[in-house]
Amino acid sequence: MVKRRLWESLLALLYPERCCSCGETINCGSIVCDSCRPRLIRIMPPLCLVCGCEKRYCRCKHHKRHTDRCAAPFYYECAAKAALHRLKFGGKTYVTEMFGLAMAQTVKREYRDVSFSCIVPVPLSSLVSKKRKFNQSALLAKRLARYLCVPYKELLVKVVETIPQRELPAYKRSGNVLGVFDVVKTEIDVFAQQPEFNVLLVDDTVTTGATLDECAKILKLYGAGSVFAITATASRLSVLEK
Q: What is the mean pLDDT of the chain?
A: 86
For the domain that residue 155 is a member of, what is the CATH number?
3.40.50.2020
Task: Determine the pLDDT at residue 109.
Answer: 97
State the Cα–Cα distance between residues 226 and 116, nearest whole angstrom: 9
**Does the residue 86 lie in any domain?**
yes
**Does the residue 34 lie in any domain?**
no
**Does the residue 17 lie in any domain?**
no
Q: Which residue has better confidence, 135 or 11? A: 135
Q: Which domain holds residue 224?
A: 40-240
**Does the residue 184 lie in any domain?**
yes
Structure confidence by residue, pLDDT tens digits, 30-41: 789 999 999 999
DSSP string, 159-219: -S----GGGS-GGGHHHHHTT-EEE-HHHHHHHHTSS--EEEEEEEEESSSHHHHHHHHHH
What percent of the chain is helix, strand and coil (3-state, nearest 5)? 40, 15, 40
**Does the residue 72 lie in any domain?**
yes
Domains of the chain: total = 1
CA neighbor of 112 nearest in space, from 234, 241, 21, 228: 228
Residue type at position 66 = H
pTM, two decimals, is 0.88
Structure confidence by residue, pLDDT tens digits, 179-200: 789 999 988 988 878 889 999 9
What length is written for the chain?
242
pLDDT higher than threshold 90 for residue 64: no
**Does the residue 7 lie in any domain?**
no
**Does the residue 22 lie in any domain?**
no
Helix axes 136-148, 95-110, angle to 10 degrees: 60
**Does the residue 2 lie in any domain?**
no
Q: How confident is the model at residue 208 (pLDDT cuts 50, 70, 90)?
A: confident
pLDDT higher than threshold 60 for residue 209: yes
